[in-house]
Structure 1
């Protein structure tokens, strides 16, 4: 194995570790936020919203979090959980670009575009 191959292998190992950390941190953060919202709901006995109602837009979620509404905090945790694999795709694009693998950069970028488009459609459909 040449020095260049060793360096490339070491870089890819480091990027894989970063991807693992991103996923781990995202899942742990979202779990903590969801547990905080659930704990607040259990302590107060209220959700912060009328029965059958919950925040569905970004602004409603962030306004609810600012007002310490338990359902809004739990929705933020779910939003963070959904964003975790999206962030992993972004880091993968960087990894493939660093490796100079143009085909996988394009494929992964297409995956990111599809994810963003699907989230946008879901947001519009509410």
Structure 2
């Protein structure tokens, strides 16, 4: 891969990270505004969503707390997706050592999300 192509891929990755952070901040801010305006999290008592599916369901129901958590989920997922994009970049560069290393890191991240449990 030529030097210009590498710089272009780095710009794409940095823009991807920036967009992920901005989208996350926007969604979190919208959820916060909803919380302030309504004065309610959208949930009764001390019951809150703890799984990504429940969080997304609550966000689609426009529950302010779930909207905030959706923004935070996007913030958490953004660098993980960046690792996935890096695998593709290294494959295009034919840098197979880094493809293997980055793939290993990506698998560890995915396993940590699957095995992680919030109670």
TM-score range, shorter chain: over 0.9
Is contact 1:22–1:87 with CA below 8 Å preserved after alignment?
no
Structure 1 residues 63-95: Cα deviation after superposition (integer angstroms, max 9, x where no partner)? 211211001101110110011001110111111
In structure 1, C-alpha distance between the alignment counterparts of 2:114 and 2:96, rounded to whole Å: 27
Structure 2: 5+ residue stretches without partners: none
Q: TM-score, normalised by structure 1?
A: 0.89
Does the alignment pair 1:70 with 2:70?
no
The unaligned stretches of length 5 or more in structure 1 are: 1-6
> Which one has a bigger Cα radius of gyration?
1
Deviation at 1:58, TM superposition (A): 2.4
Q: What secondary structure sits across from 2:116 in the alignment?
A: helix
Q: Distance in 1 between matches of 2:47 and 2:32?
A: 16
**Among residues 59, 63, 67, which one is paired with 2:53 in the alignment?**
59
Moved over 4 A (4+): none
**Aligned residues between the structures:** 119
Partner residue, 2:26? 32
Are residues 1:122 and 2:116 paired? yes
Equivalent residue number for residue 90 of structure 1? 84
Q: Distance in 1 between matches of 2:42 and 2:104?
A: 39
- Structure 2: distance between partners of 1:67 and 1:101: 45
